[in-house]
Structure 1
Amino acid sequence: MRGEAASGFPTIFEYGLPTLVNRQGATQNDRQLEALLVMARHTEDSTLIKRAGDPGHPQVEGPTARSPL
């Protein structure tokens, strides 16, 4: 996360905020959840990815990768 902070949190501005803005028909909760998932998918130095694995990596595909929170 230090890289994100040092860069001015580009993942938030490039992926998180556009997701919140573009999903106007969804509930606030759904928009926030989708923004979180989109940001988790696009960040490179996340503790989440280091601990749980990259959901886009072929080794992590399968029913577990697609199950809801």
Structure 2
Amino acid sequence: VEVTHLQQQKDELCAQIRDLKVPLHLTSDSIPELKKKLRELETRDKERSEEISQMTAKIKQQEQ
């Protein structure tokens, strides 16, 4: 259940990252803020991926 929840969070973060990569007509003021948000989302995505890997390893270990 927890792994499923983490996977859903990861999928949502990936979708948000994809949304930020869509070309838009932006003002020069908004670009730094979007880049900052993108870095934050990429960091969160990496953290979630690591959590999922750890949880998956724990589950496999318990199944043995």
TM score, norm. by length of structure 1:
0.31
Higher relative contact order (CA 8 A, sep 6+): 2
Bigger Rg, structure 1 or 2: 2
